[in-house]
A = this chain, B = another copy of it.
Amino acid sequence: MNISEAAAESGVPAKTIRYYEDIGLVRPPRLANGYRVFGAAELAALAFIGRARSLGFSVEDCRTLLALEQGGTSHDVKVIAEEHLTRIAAKIAELEAMRGTLKALVSRCRGDDGADCPIMDDLRRPAHATHAA
């Protein structure tokens, strides 16, 4: 199986597969002409990475998880997942804070052709005085 087939099967773009090889995540063997060859093992690794990435794991996490595939414990995996979960929760909290502030500002903004704008007023505020008096 060549790279474009592997891309179609795994859902990982060919360009990205080459990148993953570059950073040592996958190591597909080569034919005499230099073409990469993807077998069941390589395909499984690519799908695994693809799935992990779609859950937001970093490429380094993927590397670790792939290593844990060959003899890691459920505990090892859980630790990685929990740390990732914490990062996700923190990111969500950060975004929700932004959304809250922005929503309030947008709702107070008339959005007409005047220059008066609560959003701009907020941005012009000295520091982080969100919407207090």
Question: Is A128's CB under 8 angstroms from B51's CB?
Answer: yes
A37 at interface, CB cutoff 8 A: no
Given the interface contacts A92-B92, A120-B68, does A112 sit within 8 Å of B77 by beta carbon? Answer: no
> What residues on B are CB-neighbors of A127 within 8 Å?
11, 47, 51
A81 contacts the other chain (CB 8 A): yes
Contact A99 B95 (CB under 8 A): no
Considering only CB atoms, which chain B residue lies closest to A96 in the complex?
Answer: B92
| Residues of chain B lying within 8 A (CB to CB) of residue A96 | 92
Q: Which residue of B is nearest A124, CB measured?
A: B48
- In contact, A99 and B109 (Cβ under 8 angstroms): no
Query: Per-position contact with B for A96-120: 1 when CB-CB < 8 Å, else 0?
Result: 1011011101100111111111011
Q: Known A-B contacts: A73-B113, A77-B109, A77-B120. Give 13 more (CB < 8 A).
A: A51-B125, A55-B102, A55-B123, A68-B120, A73-B115, A74-B109, A74-B115, A74-B116, A75-B111, A77-B119, A81-B106, A85-B103, A88-B99
